[in-house]
Structure 1
């Protein structure tokens, strides 16, 4: 079997997996076990006594346990529950002298649905977020609201805004995959201690780096989870970070202003030896809105109706042309056109990062109207030049060996001087203490390693905004295609990919970005009901009294609560020919 785009090592595993699947008779529906439904339970005791009773959790210290009354948590009404906090495997690094541990919190509802949800967090982790269990896109509900016991962690280091933990080899590995390995059995034991039984069903989900955690867990720990939910999965995160730095150098060629200062990780303002391009001036908000409008003009009708929304993103890639569909400036930049140089940069960035020999460093990106969103600019400009994001992550976490100067490191100079020919290969390197490369500890194992997940009847749903500016939707399609190369027609029996047209990174953009992915996942895992469409809603003005729940980028021409069906790839939402264009029921997946 030919598996394009993967390594010889991956091909070997793929061949082994195909043989195993054939032997297992996976072509028949009866070959997959049907997992039973979780059985609810309750906790009627005193939450404050939980810590004292948890003495047998290996390598674990419970630091507090208390009752949290029903009320608003992370903008969502949440039931009464126990909050337990703790840490695992505390140690002092022999490399950088810092203290490390895996910090966590668990929220355990008094009325429990019998399920466990591992909340995989985003960014470079480093902080324990509220363990509520976000379930996809804009906030609509949570795993905790649904009765799950939910775990959140810092993935093994206590530095959310700086990447310097990457100097410690074990902290790298904990961040990449080992925190999940350590926390999963501990959490299940803790749940058993509280409710008198272990969880009947276990789920893991997250977005961004949390989506990467999900795909990694599916490949490494497929025997420990029944359902995996991966959003905007940065599963090639080191490659994406390199692409971000390459992008800075592209934007610098058309920037119209310069910066004379930069900030260190501590926030100290430093004067640069020479001014450097202010890449945020490469494409202004007005210019990006113009680009978005041209994409809509060209592609709006491709899904069967003119509704100021591009539903058929794949068809748009064939229809839209930067050269002919965007006006070329004949004079000064005024927001109504792009210069020839800007068009070149726009084309290059969407084609994907390459080294000087033309070899691909990361995936291409689809043209999408979501380029107008504020999140696009944040990721392409601010996050690609800041110490705490791509420059720092590349230098200290993904490069082997890592940088060591944590005092004077600056993001913009590093990005501008990054040599993709000599530095990008270091994400695949090992050296001395650093026995695993970034692409080893960060990326999921080859798709053939999903056989444990498949064989036990577990399921996985992946969703991704087509306007994501940092983790390419096209890259996730490549991953999905590599899974199909191994599992062929059986892929649809346990993995589904849902594109979200117009949505940026995890949420936002001109999109219907409010949806619940856990309900269809649970029904698929525990009832054998495979999901088809998932209805998503916009979060326009007036849909909530909580400002944080409003998406200001919903177009004014839409109904504020417009709905659309999210369709399993490769189908797209297509207008039925009649009906309210603001209702999902007027569209079908074709």
Structure 2
């Protein structure tokens, strides 16, 4: 089936399903306030006492109070038990490699009765320490410090350093793809709750999943596939259309290549030459000139995202060079054409939109924006993931170790017409497509919301990978499914200027975990979130905070479609703003 026919069919099915739904029921009452319990055994005894089918505990370790300090967090980590293990060990019949779902749990002695699944990012492949990242830039706390029992995992595969394919090598194995797509979370969640039961003598009162980027995708997929497991889910930068976003990335690299100079060493386009930092700063200034004051205050922030998309026109608002290029002063006509096309987003020759465009935002000047667009898109992130994990069948290893072939050749040769449909494809070996495994089965999350689940989403408007406009499109579909009751179960907060998960000229430090707990357990839906800049003197400074800002500037984040509008008072304080449409 062609990509165009599939998209049309999917849209028709979605509209038909939504149109026949009865009105959503009244929102359930909040969950009871969680309360914890002391451990009923020592950390050393846990390995011998815990039994769960397919699980092998490989290590336990008691960490004393005050023994562990983490960068940017003033308080030492509390006393806790670290449990490491593997689940569903096997040898692949496809590549003969050993696979397992690796995990780590950290169980605090003073437990708050809550479970925290820390969903990790990228292509996974690493068991990152289970501290409970609360997201945003330079977080000042974490789930473990707050008293959660925290789980982290590698999503079913280990990063393979022996092959040029590296983090994507698992894509050769169909089960590893399934584990990465949805199965690792589905398998680990009940196991983790059983481990909590064994250690504390009681199950968690409430359960939360928190993740950004691919971790955000994990959250939305878990809400749709295992709605009974979680009471609250927090996702930032949610890559819920991950394979299609990767298609957009390599397509974008093809556009940038048109105005790039060749790398003398490789004779491939050097994408960093397409838009040097001075040119991206020029675009940022042009966006601010047109959009900064739409929220009532010219403060270096485009808070009214949708207003800016209507107000800003690249052809009119970005200076054009009359002759030779003048970096930082104007863009050439070719540069303007490329940038406008990238922000419009990929469309194939039949006119089918593949992925959302990008919102105009001053965060285009962020370092992370350039890195994702000019380096990751043609290297060991998007190109390698698309070649070996997101398309069926996977590409030949010759893509990276053949006769002079490189990932950039694969990216620049990827065709929307010929290749984009492979993310929807399946075959006798890969019986589920990447899109089926890696995206939510029900974007309306009806079963999750029916049982009272709460969902918080946050997204930087200058995210270069997962478009905030794509998340807005998801939100619009969610509202279509739930009508006026949508905000009873889900809220979306846009973070102006923020790049991928953090960084950029933004107030990117916030605590959405506490907001989610208060919503789930106290029924206090977040009306706004206060976010802070990380200027000089901060525990983890953000070098991209403009010098004209207060080092600890605060801003309101508002539930979409509301905007933080300036009312009166200190221009550096969130208290001077109100959320309004």
The 1-side partners of 2:417 and 2:10 are apart by 21
The 2-side partners of 1:52 and 1:431 are apart by 43
The 2-side partners of 1:403 and 1:530 are apart by 46
Q: Give the deviation of 1:359 after TM superposition.
A: 2.0
2:338 aligned counterpart, secondary structure: helix
Q: Give the deviation of 1:542 after TM superposition.
A: 1.1
Equivalent residue number for residue 559 of structure 2: 568
- Determine if contact 1:74/1:130 at 8 Å carries over to the other structure: no
The 2-side partners of 1:259 and 1:359 are apart by 37
The 2-side partners of 1:283 and 1:228 are apart by 37
2:146 aligned counterpart, secondary structure: coil
- Determine if contact 1:371/1:467 at 8 Å carries over to the other structure: yes
Q: Give the deviation of 1:37 after TM superposition.
A: 1.1
Equivalent residue number for residue 154 of structure 2: 154
The 2-side partners of 1:588 and 1:104 are apart by 43
Query: Aligned pair count?
Result: 559
Equivalent residue number for residue 405 of structure 1: 397
- Determine if contact 2:72/2:140 at 8 Å carries over to the other structure: no
Deviations 1:500-527 (A, max 9, x none): 0110100001100000001111111011
The 1-side partners of 2:512 and 2:390 are apart by 31
Is residue 2:8 matched to residue 1:9?
A: no
Deviations 1:61-81 (A, max 9, x none): 000001123331354332121
334-343 vs 303-312, which moves further: 303-312
Equivalent residue number for residue 287 of structure 2: 295
1:191 aligned counterpart, secondary structure: helix
Deviations 1:368-396 (A, max 9, x none): 0000011001110110111x211111111
- Determine if contact 1:33/1:456 at 8 Å carries over to the other structure: no
- Determine if contact 1:167/1:403 at 8 Å carries over to the other structure: no
Give the TM-score normalised by structure 2.
0.94
Q: Give the deviation of 1:9 after TM superposition.
A: 3.4
The 1-side partners of 2:142 and 2:527 are apart by 21
- Determine if contact 2:40/2:201 at 8 Å carries over to the other structure: no
The 2-side partners of 1:404 and 1:101 are apart by 24
Equivalent residue number for residue 109 of structure 1: 108
Deviations 1:171-215 (A, max 9, x none): 000000000110000000000000000101000010000000011
- Determine if contact 2:38/2:109 at 8 Å carries over to the other structure: yes
Equivalent residue number for residue 232 of structure 2: 227
1:483 aligned counterpart, secondary structure: helix
The 2-side partners of 1:95 and 1:565 are apart by 51
Q: Give the deviation of 1:162 after TM superposition.
A: 2.2
Gap change, CA 1:404 and 1:75, over 3 Å in 2: farther
The 1-side partners of 2:127 and 2:72 are apart by 17
- Determine if contact 1:103/1:156 at 8 Å carries over to the other structure: yes
Gap change, CA 1:510 and 1:474, over 3 Å in 2: same
**2:466 pairs with one of 464, 471, 488:** 471
**1:428 pairs with one of 424, 436, 440:** 424
The 2-side partners of 1:122 and 1:559 are apart by 31
| Runs of 4+, deviation exceeding 6 Å | none
Is residue 2:52 matched to residue 1:72?
A: no
Equivalent residue number for residue 446 of structure 1: 442
The 1-side partners of 2:31 and 2:447 are apart by 14
The 2-side partners of 1:187 and 1:253 are apart by 50
Deviations 1:95-149 (A, max 9, x none): 1111110000000111000000000000000000111111121122111111000
RMSD: 1.6
- Determine if contact 1:279/1:381 at 8 Å carries over to the other structure: yes
Equivalent residue number for residue 578 of structure 2: 588
314-323 vs 532-541, which moves further: 314-323
1:311 aligned counterpart, secondary structure: coil
- Determine if contact 2:243/2:434 at 8 Å carries over to the other structure: yes
Equivalent residue number for residue 342 of structure 1: 335
The 2-side partners of 1:513 and 1:156 are apart by 31
Q: Give the deviation of 1:258 after TM superposition.
A: 2.6
- Determine if contact 1:503/1:512 at 8 Å carries over to the other structure: yes
**1:419 pairs with one of 415, 433, 447:** 415
Alignment of 1:50-89 (within 5 A): 50-54=46-50, 56-69=51-64, 70=66, 71-73=68-70, 75-76=72-73, 77-89=76-88
- Determine if contact 2:119/2:216 at 8 Å carries over to the other structure: yes
Q: Structure 2: any 5+ residue segments left out of the alignment?
A: 1-6, 161-165
The 1-side partners of 2:116 and 2:280 are apart by 39
Give the TM-score normalised by structure 1.
0.92
